[in-house]
Structure 1
Amino acid sequence: YILRGWIEDRSADEARGLDRAGWATALTDPAVGTALEAVHDEPGRAWTVEELGARGGLSRSAFARRFTALVGMPPLTYLTWWRMTSAGRLLLSGDAPLSAVAQQVGYVSEFAFAKAFKREYGIAPGRYRRVENARAAS
């Protein structure tokens, strides 16, 4: 699942300037790879940098530096990106209400989720679902 998501998002990430070589290294790094796996498995969890670092045996600051160096963005920025990527997939794979999608990716408030989604994709989540489903149907 992680690798498939990585491949699907490659072109969008390249447009954003994300470094794929660093990403591959990050997946094999004991500390960062463990954190990435945890975030990918539970995007809705209220992760902290301290908790993610502890999973890999690093302090909060050492983990944040290492994560940023390998992934190309700070841990919580990545977490938000992953949540929005996951939300995009959820929106297209079913008809769950926006509130349910928001909750699955870690947002208590549908409003906060919609705001974060629009910041990432430039479009409201409900509209994204309609536009992308119409595009897929044509």
Structure 2
Amino acid sequence: MLKLFESPPEKLPFSSLELRAAVFAVLLRVLALYPEEDFQNPLLLRHYSVLTDYLSQHGNASTRVSQLADFLGESREGFTRRFSSETGITPKQLIDRFLMSKALDLLNGNASVKEVACLLNFSSEFAFSRFFKKHMGEAPNHWRKNPLSAGTYSSTKSRNAVL
């Protein structure tokens, strides 16, 4: 695909209609890698924008579900029950997704694994690497060397651990 976009116009093998069809086919294949709920959950989370803003600014590896419940003025159990039923994910999964999103941003910004672990308040570089591997299916150093190497998406091992 990149070769097509870098080629001079006279060397392009496709008409604009054929190129659109090719792009559409690629998009369909990419979308097929993701479960349907990954497109619905972000819409459900819009009701929790105050919470997601809080996590974006203050979330780190030491963030606990009880802190989120306190922030919203609710009991931990009531918050967990309501949040899970309304969004389809647990508050812990939300925290983990924010951590992964921040970690990926930092790694893409050329921060070292040790720096990411420190910035996200993990107890050690090893703890961060274990967390990253649990969610991405590979170690952060391996992911950084080849960010497109992972296979298919799963709910716990995501190439794009975002909301």
TM-score normalised over the length of structure 2 = 0.62
CA distance in 2, matches of 1:99, 1:18: 33
Distance 1:109 1:20, change over 3 A: same
What is the RMSD computed on CA atoms of the aligned residues?
2.5
**Cα contact 1:19–1:72 (8 A) shared by 2:** no
Give the 5 Å matches for 1:47-126.
47-94=63-110, 96-126=111-141
- Structure 1, unaligned stretches of length 5 or more? 1-10, 134-138
**Cα contact 2:62–2:122 (8 A) shared by 1:** no
More relative contact order in 1 or in 2 (CA 8 Å, sep 6+)?
2
- Structure 2, unaligned stretches of length 5 or more? 1-29, 149-163
Distance 1:41 1:18, change over 3 A: farther
* Structure (1 or 2) with the larger CA radius of gyration: 2
When you count helix as a share of all residues, which structure comes out higher?
A: 1
TM-score normalised over the length of structure 1 = 0.72
Distance 1:70 1:20, change over 3 A: farther
Query: Which amino acid counterpart does residue 24 of structure 1 have in structure 2?
Result: L
CA distance in 1, matches of 2:90, 2:147: 29
